[in-house]
Chain A
Amino acid sequence: MSLLEVKNLRMYYETLRGYVKAVDDVTFYVKRGEALGLAGESGCGKTSAALSIMRLLPPNAKIIEGTILFNGEDVTKMHIKKFRKEFCWKKTSVIFQGAMNCLFPIKKIGDQIVEPVMIHEHVSKEGALERARKLLDLVGVGAERIDRYPHELSGGLKQRVMIAMALACNPELVIADEPTTALDVVMQSQILNVIEQLQKELNLSMILISHNLSVIADTCDTTAIMYAGKIVEYADVTTLFKKPLHPYSEKLINAFPSIVGERRVLSSISGSPPDLLDPPPGCRFHPRCPYVTQKCKENEPELIQASSQHWVACHLLG
C-alpha cells in the first residue's frame, strides 16, 4: 500500500473574478521510501497540490473534491487541531523554497530547529538541542554552528538548516518545494546529495517539486508532469525520460541542455500557459500543442494507462 494517496484532488482558489482552478482532478501515489517528482512550469499547480497535503494553503483555497489518504487516513477531513498536533511536521514536513526568506532572522538557528521538536514531542530544551546538534551534523552544517543567526550563514547553509528543520520530528514524508532554485550549480549538487543520502538512510518518502527536469531525472523514482492544474503524464522516471508520450513532456524534456553527449538543438514551447480562471476547453495544452486535432479542442483527455507504470492524458494515444 502506498504511504500517501492523493485521489481526484480538486483545489480551487476563490477570487473575486471566480475560481482559479489551480489543481484539477489530480491523482498520485507515493510509496514508502520512494521519491516522486512533480514537474511543470510556474503556475501549473505543483506547489498548490503538494501544500494541500500539509493544509498550508491560504484561506481562499478550497478543496472542492478528492481525498488525501496518508496511511489510509483522510487528511482533509481531520480536525485542524488534531492535524496540527499529530500530523503536521511529525508525519510530513516541508522544505520550503528560498531558504533565505524562510528562516526567522532574529532567532538562532538552533532555537528554530528546537521549536517543532519541543511542541510535538514534549522533550526538554536540552534534549531538543541535542537532537538539533545531531541534525545539523547530519545535513553537513556542523553542530558548532547551532548558535548562529541566519544572516551569518550562506544560502547553501541556510537551505541545509531548512532540511534539518524538516527532519526534526522524524517525518515519514518530506515535501521539498524547489529546494535548490536560488542556489548555484555547485551548491545545488551538494544539497541534492544531502537530500538523496538522507532519503536512503532514513527510508524517507519524498515529493520533490521542481521546474528543473534535470534535477528530477537525477533524484526521483517516479515523475508526474503537470500542466495547468492537471497531471498530463505520470510514469517512473526512466520511462518518462526515455519514452515521453505527451507532447508537453517531450518538449519540456528537450528544453534542457545537457552536458553529456553531443550538443543538440533545444525545443521550445511557443505561447504561454493558460489563465486558470478560464482554462481552454478540451485538452488544456491544445493552444500550444503542435499535433492538435479537432478532438483535442472539444474533449478533455482522460489519464489512460499506456503501460504498466505509465499514464498519459492525450488523445493522440487513444
Chain B
Amino acid sequence: MPPFGVVKMEDVVVEVRNLKKYFPIKLGFFKSLRSKEAPVVHAVDDVSFSIRSTEILGLVGESGSGKTTTGRCLLRLIEPTEGKIFFDGQDMASLTSGDMTKLRAKMQIIFQDPYASLNPRMNVHNIVSEPLRIQRLCGSRDEMRERVTKVLEDMGLTPAREFLYRFPHELSGGQRQRVAISRAFVVEPSFLVADEPVSMLDASIRTDVLDLMLGLVKRTRCSFLYITHDMALARYICNRIVVMYLGKIVEIGFAEDVIKNPLHPYTQALINAVPVPDPTARHARATIKGEIPSPINPPSGCRFHTRCRYAEEICMENEPALIEVENEHFTACARSPLIDKQSIK
C-alpha cells in the first residue's frame, strides 16, 4: 500500500513504489583496485508516491534534492536502480522497448529550457509532428498537418499557419515554451512531467503558460508532475505537494495544508525562503544555513539533521518514517509535534 493512506486504484495514474536511483561514480583504474565498493550518488533513495488523475502534483526541493531524477525515472528516460513504477496499473519495468514506445504516447515531458529543448534546425511543424511520426498516429500528411495546426491553436499560437514553418530562433521564449507544450500534447497524453517549465520565462508571460497548463488539465483530464523549487509557484498550480530533500520525501500533503501548516522544518525553510511581493510583509528570512550535503555520503538518520534547528540526538540515529499527521498530510520528522508553528509568518 502506498504510504499515504488508501487511494482508490482507479484514481491513480502513476504509482511509484520504493523508487531508487543511484548513479555510480567513475573511478580511475588504480582507485578502483583499492576501494572495495564503488561509491554512488544517492540521487533518489526510496521514494513512494502516487499521482491521481486530473491532478497536478508538485515536486518541490532545492537543487540537488533529486526532483528531476525522479521525474525522468517516471518516464524511464533513465532506468531506475530499484523500485517499481506503475502506469495505469501496469508495471513499467516489465515492458519491452516496443511496448514502452507505445506507452510513451501516453506520457510526455516538458523541459525547463525552451532555448535548449527545441532543435534549432527543425521548423515548428516538424518539431510538433515528430511524436506523431514516431508513434505512427497519422495516416496522411494532411491529417498530420491538421492535428499540428489544431494543437498549436489550442496552445494559443494563433493563427497557427503563421507559426508552422518558423524556426525556433524566430520565436520568443514564451512562444518556444508553447511549442514545447504543443509537442507534448499532440499525442494527447494522460500524464506529463513538467520540469520547471516557466523558470526561464519572463513574469508577464509566465502566468499565461501556467494558466494554459491549468486549463489543459481541466480540458483533457490529464495529470501533471510539476517540478519546481518555488513554493509560491507550487501553491498556485498544484493540488498536492511532495517535498523532497536529498533523495527522500520529507512531506506530502494538499497544497494549502502544506503551505499553511508545514510539518517538516525543511518545508518551513522553503516557505520562509520565498520572497513576498509585498514590502509591508517583510520578514526576517529565517532560512536554513549552508548547503545541501553531498549525496555520495548522505548524513545518517534524518538527512536534514545537519541543517535543522530542532535536531536532537535521535535525529542523527534513526531515520524517521513518513507518517500521517493529518488527513492525507504526511511528514518524516521525529520532532514534528514540537515545531514552533508561530515562527512561520
Which of B85-93, B121-129, B225-233, B319-327 lies at the binding interface?
B225-233
**Is B164 part of the contact surface with A, judged by Cβ < 8 Å?**
no
**Is B281 part of the contact surface with A, judged by Cβ < 8 Å?**
yes
In the complex, what residues of B have CB within 8 A of residue A242's CB?
280
Q: For A42, A260, A272, which residue has the most chain B Cβ atoms within 10 angstroms? A: A260
Classify the interface of chain A: helix, strand, loop or mixed. helix
Contact with A along B185-213 (1 / 0, CB 8 A): 00000000000000000111111101100
**Is A41 part of the contact surface with B, judged by Cβ < 8 Å?**
yes
Q: Which of A188, A217, A219, A268 contacts B204 (CB 8 A)?
A: A268
In the complex, what residues of A have CB within 8 A of residue B231's CB?
185, 259
Chain B residue at minimal CB-CB distance from A43: B202
In the complex, what residues of A have CB within 8 A of residue B205's CB?
268-269, 272
Say yes or no: B256 contacts A263, CB within 8 Å.
Answer: yes
Which of A25-33, A89-97, A250-258 lies at the binding interface?
A250-258
**Is B161 part of the contact surface with A, judged by Cβ < 8 Å?**
no
Q: Which of A42, A187, A188, A266 contacts B210 (CB 8 A)?
A: A266
Say yes or no: A218 contacts B270, CB within 8 Å.
Answer: no
Which of A16-24, A113-121, A189-197, A296-304 lies at the binding interface?
A189-197
Interface magnitude class on chain B = 35 or more
In whole Å, how far is A250's beta carbon from the nearest beta carbon of chain B?
Answer: 12
**Is B279 part of the contact surface with A, judged by Cβ < 8 Å?**
yes
Say yes or no: A185 contacts B277, CB within 8 Å.
Answer: no
Say yes or no: A268 contacts B207, CB within 8 Å.
Answer: yes
Given A218-B279, A257-B233, A185 and B274 touching (CB < 8 A)? yes
In the complex, what residues of B have CB within 8 A of residue A263's CB?
235-236, 256
Chain A residue at minimal CB-CB distance from B285: A189
**What number of residue pairs across chains A and B have CB atoms under 8 A from each other?**
125
**Is B276 part of the contact surface with A, judged by Cβ < 8 Å?**
yes
Given A185-B229, A185-B231, A189-B287, A41 and B279 touching (CB < 8 A)? no
**Is B172 part of the contact surface with A, judged by Cβ < 8 Å?**
yes
Q: Which of A41, A259, A270 contacts B276 (CB 8 A)?
A: A259
In whole Å, how far is B280's beta carbon from the nearest beta carbon of chain A?
Answer: 6
Cα A154 to Cα B64 in complex, Å, equals 11
Given A255-B204, A258-B232, A213 and B273 touching (CB < 8 A)? no
**Is B47 part of the contact surface with A, judged by Cβ < 8 Å?**
no
In whole Å, how far is A17's beta carbon from the nearest beta carbon of chain B?
Answer: 16
**Is A71 part of the contact surface with B, judged by Cβ < 8 Å?**
no
Contact with A along B257-298 (1 / 0, CB 8 A): 001000000000111111111111110010111010000000
**Is A241 part of the contact surface with B, judged by Cβ < 8 Å?**
yes
Classify the interface of chain B: helix, strand, loop or mixed. helix
Contact with B along A172-187 (1 / 0, CB 8 A): 0000000000001111
Cα A217 to Cα B235 in complex, Å, equals 20
**Is B39 part of the contact surface with A, judged by Cβ < 8 Å?**
no
In whole Å, how far is B83's beta carbon from the nearest beta carbon of chain A?
Answer: 26
Say yes or no: B275 contacts A184, CB within 8 Å.
Answer: no
Say yes or no: A257 contacts B276, CB within 8 Å.
Answer: no
Q: For B202, B207, B271, B277, which residue has the most chain A Cβ atoms within 10 angstroms? A: B277
**Is A229 part of the contact surface with B, judged by Cβ < 8 Å?**
no
In the complex, what residues of B have CB within 8 A of residue A209's CB?
none
**Is A212 part of the contact surface with B, judged by Cβ < 8 Å?**
yes
**Is B62 part of the contact surface with A, judged by Cβ < 8 Å?**
yes
- Known A186-B62, A187-B63, A259-B231; further 4 A-B contacts with Cβ < 8 A: A190-B289, A217-B276, A217-B279, A257-B235
B residues at A contact (CB < 8 Å):
62-63, 172-174, 202-208, 210-211, 229-233, 235-236, 256, 259, 269-282, 285, 287-289, 291, 345
The 4 closest A-B CB pairs, nearest first, are A268-B207, A214-B275, A189-B273, A257-B236
30 CB contacts below 8 A, A to B, read A155-B63, A157-B291, A184-B62, A184-B63, A185-B229, A185-B231, A185-B270, A186-B269, A186-B270, A186-B273, A186-B288, A187-B62, A189-B273, A214-B275, A238-B280, A241-B278, A241-B280, A242-B280, A255-B203, A257-B235, A258-B278, A259-B231, A259-B232, A259-B271, A260-B281, A266-B210, A268-B204, A269-B204, A270-B208, A272-B205
